């Protein structure tokens, strides 16, 4: 078998891997993108839906992007607690907005754009080994969709392959090296056929636990309620699901409709110990996981990619290592801000099984303090709509 040669081997065709291949191609740097999943699987998996304004500004420049035709701009969210709703007005507080545009739609756009541009993009390709990251020619081996072995030699390897990253051990030393936090609750998520129950998202802290009323389109709603991490998504009847959701957003009558998808999302916070070693780096969920309450997951992946793109341009076009040497520290700066925000939104809005009456009253005090202060609302809005992307290293 003869090894193939590329400049950047990107493992993972999620938002991070695909966007990186696009940005590198703009600078004339070729790459191979590999993913163990099928194209259908990638394009159909339901993930989160909120894009920061900065993320939209990157995606809208990509040929064929439907973010403005299919996505919806959201100028605020509602925090609901103690029987009242409080709107956080994003443009009024920050001059920025967010867009509701589901991740699988982003992926459909990116895959189409990359294939149209002639990107070497391989689905069903399993990577088995990543070697030589401390040499100038790291290599990966694996098996393609037809079961044939492959070997790729690159100038750089990128792990954009999600929370079960096969590249992570080569960068961080092991799968688990890093900083973790588990949460004693999860989200029960549904998709249902019914028009949105509210124009904007509602994040509701209720005595029975958290619920989030989101949407996917004019005819489909995405909703979540806090549940036990061990909950079986199929154990509840539709009627029980509606009763649970309705009880968690007192004051709003939810539009009900046929539930066509249900899942349980575990909550975890994680930051890998090392983001880069030699000629390999991690981006997106391969490097970190955030609980979904702050809607930061995909946006954080985009922020990593913008930095790594700059670092790789300098390394591969100018033979200048200063950018790649600065990558980990620069990425970590935003990662920990997003970790904090995601943890904060989660802990402020959920009812922990361990919480005492003191904790419950303190939490309401915190929510009142945030919404009654313009500074508090602005802080939340700045974090939610996203800090400006740093593009220089
Ligand atoms: C979603 O619509 O899936 C969604 C929205 C906001 C979040 C999390 C998930 O914070």
User: Could you identify the atom of ligand 1 that is nearest to the CA of residue 189?
Assistant: 3
Find the 192 Cα to ligand 1 centroid distance in Å. 15
Active-site residue (options: 72, 74, 288, 350)? 74
Q: Answer yes or no: are the C-beta atoms of 381 and 374 closer than 8 Å.
A: no
The domain made up of 4-49+102-177+273-351 has a fold known as: FAD/NAD(P)-binding domain (3.50.50)
Q: Is 50 in the pocket of ligand 1 (CB under 6 A)?
A: yes
Map 64-101 to HEC letters: CCCHHHHCEEECEEEEEECCEEEEEEHHHHHCCCEEEC
Find the 295 Cα to ligand 1 centroid distance in Å. 6
pLDDT band at 48; cut points 50, 70, 90: confident
How far apart are alpha carbons 161 and 318 in whole angstroms? 27
Q: Is 293 in the pocket of ligand 1 (CB under 6 A)?
A: yes
User: What is the model's pLDDT at position 391?
Assistant: 84
Find the 224 Cα to ligand 1 centroid distance in Å. 9
- Concatenate the DSSP letters of all residues of 269-283 into one string: EEEES-SEETTEEE-
Q: What is the mean pLDDT of residues 261-267?
A: 95
Q: What is the mean pLDDT of residues 375-388?
A: 98
User: What is the model's pLDDT at position 2?
Assistant: 85
Respond yes or no: is residue 277 known to be catalytic: no
User: What is the model's pLDDT at position 204?
Assistant: 98
pLDDT band at 159; cut points 50, 70, 90: very high
Q: Whose CA is nearest to atom 6 of ligand 1?
A: 295
Superfamily of segment(s) 180-268: D-Amino Acid Oxidase, subunit A, domain 2 (3.30.9.10)
User: Could you identify the atom of ligand 1 that is nearest to the CA of residue 292?
Assistant: 8
199: number of Cβ within 10 Å: 12
In the chain, what percentage of residues exceed pLDDT 90?
Answer: 97
For 69-104, write each residue's pLDDT tens digit.
999 999 999 999 999 999 999 999 999 999 999 999
Q: Which range (25-34, 39-48, 131-140, 183-192) has the least confidence?
A: 39-48
pLDDT of residue 160 exceeding 90: yes
Find the 203 Cα to ligand 1 centroid distance in Å. 10
Q: What is the mean pLDDT of residues 34-42?
A: 98
Mutate which of 47, 88, 214, 217 for ligand 1? The one with the most ligand atoms within 8 Å of its CB, which is: 214
How far apart are alpha carbons 252 and 139 in whole angstroms? 55
Respond yes or no: is residue 196 known to be catalytic: no
User: What is the model's pLDDT at position 246?
Assistant: 98
Q: Give the mean pLDDT of the chain.
A: 97
Q: Is 48 in the pocket of ligand 1 (CB under 6 A)?
A: yes
pLDDT of residue 296 exceeding 80: yes
User: Could you identify the atom of ligand 1 that is nearest to the CA of residue 295?
Assistant: 10
User: What is the model's pLDDT at position 1?
Assistant: 75
Respond yes or no: is residue 74 known to be catalytic: yes
Residues carrying CATH 3.50.50.60, the chain: 4-49+102-177+273-351
CA distances (Å), 109 to each of 37, 57, 115, 139, 309, in order? 17, 15, 10, 29, 20
Respond yes or no: is residue 388 known to be catalytic: no
User: What is the model's pLDDT at position 321?
Assistant: 98
How far apart are alpha carbons 205 and 228 in whole angstroms? 16
User: What is the model's pLDDT at position 146?
Assistant: 97
Torsion angle of C-alpha atoms 300, 284, 7, 57, degrees rounded to 10: -30
Q: What is the mean pLDDT of residues 168-183?
A: 97
User: What is the model's pLDDT at position 86?
Assistant: 98
User: What is the model's pLDDT at position 46?
Assistant: 85
pLDDT of residue 392 exceeding 90: no
pLDDT of residue 205 exceeding 90: yes
How far apart are alpha carbons 210 and 225 in whole angstroms? 6
Residues carrying CATH 3.30.9.10, the chain: 180-268
Respond yes or no: is residue 361 known to be catalytic: no
Find the helix or strand (DSSP H, E) in which 158 lies: strand 156-159
Find the 217 Cα to ligand 1 centroid distance in Å. 13
Q: What is the mean pLDDT of residues 309-331?
A: 98
User: Could you identify the atom of ligand 1 that is nearest to the CA of residue 47?
Assistant: 3
Q: Whose CA is nearest to atom 3 of ligand 1?
A: 48
For 212-258, write each residue's pLDDT tens digit.
999 999 999 999 999 999 999 999 999 999 999 999 999 999 999 99
User: What is the model's pLDDT at position 362?
Assistant: 97
pLDDT of residue 376 exceeding 80: yes
Active-site residue (options: 183, 203, 224, 327)? 203
Q: Is 295 in the pocket of ligand 1 (CB under 6 A)?
A: yes
User: What is the model's pLDDT at position 343?
Assistant: 98
Q: Whose CA is nearest to atom 9 of ligand 1?
A: 48
């Amino acid at each position: 078998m003869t090894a193939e040669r590329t400049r950047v081997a990107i493992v993972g065709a999620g938002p991070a891997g695909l966007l990186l291949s696009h940005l590198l191609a703009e600078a004339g740097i070729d790459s191979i993108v590999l993913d163990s999943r099928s194209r259908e699987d990638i394009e159909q998996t339901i993930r989160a839906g909120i894009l920061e304004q900065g993320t939209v500004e990157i995606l809208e420049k990509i040929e064929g992007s439907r973010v403005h035709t299919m996505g919806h701009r959201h100028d605020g969210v509602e925090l609901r607690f103690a029987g009242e709703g409080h709107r956080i007005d994003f443009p009024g507080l920050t001059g920025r907005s967010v867009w509701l545009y589901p991740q699988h739609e982003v992926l459909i756009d990116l895959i189409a754009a990359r294939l149209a541009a002639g990107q070497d993009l391989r689905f069903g390709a399993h990577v088995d080994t990543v070697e030589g990251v401390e040499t100038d020619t790291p290599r990966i081996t694996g098996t393609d969709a037809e079961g044939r072995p492959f070997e790729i030699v690159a100038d750089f390897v990128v792990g954009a392959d999600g929370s079960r990253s096969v590249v992570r051990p080569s960068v961080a030393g092991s799968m688990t090296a890093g900083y973790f936090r588990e949460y004693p609750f999860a989200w029960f998520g549904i998709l249902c056929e019914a028009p949105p129950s509210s124009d904007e998202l509602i994040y509701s802290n209720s005595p029975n636990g958290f619920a989030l009323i989101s949407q996917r389109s004019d005819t489909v709603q995405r909703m979540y309620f806090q549940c036990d991490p061990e909950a079986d998504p199929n154990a509840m009847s539709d009627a029980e699901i509606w009763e649970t959701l309705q009880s968690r957003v007192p004051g709003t009558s939810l539009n009900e409709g046929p539930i066509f998808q249900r899942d349980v999302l575990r909550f975890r916070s994680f930051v890998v110990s090392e983001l880069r070693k030699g000629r390999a780096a991690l981006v997106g969920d391969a490097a970190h996981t955030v609980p979904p309450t702050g809607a930061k997951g995909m946006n954080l992946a985009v922020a990593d990619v913008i930095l790594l793109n700059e670092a790789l341009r300098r390394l591969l076009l100018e033979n200048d290592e200063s950018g790649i040497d600065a990558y980990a520290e620069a990425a970590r700066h935003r990662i920990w801000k997003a970790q904090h925000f995601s943890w904060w939104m989660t802990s402020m809005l959920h009812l922990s099984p361990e919480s005492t009456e003191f904790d419950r009253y303190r939490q309401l005090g915190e929510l009142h303090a945030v919404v009654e202060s313009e500074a508090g609302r602005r802080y939340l809005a700045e974090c939610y709509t996203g800090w400006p992307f740093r593009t220089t290293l």
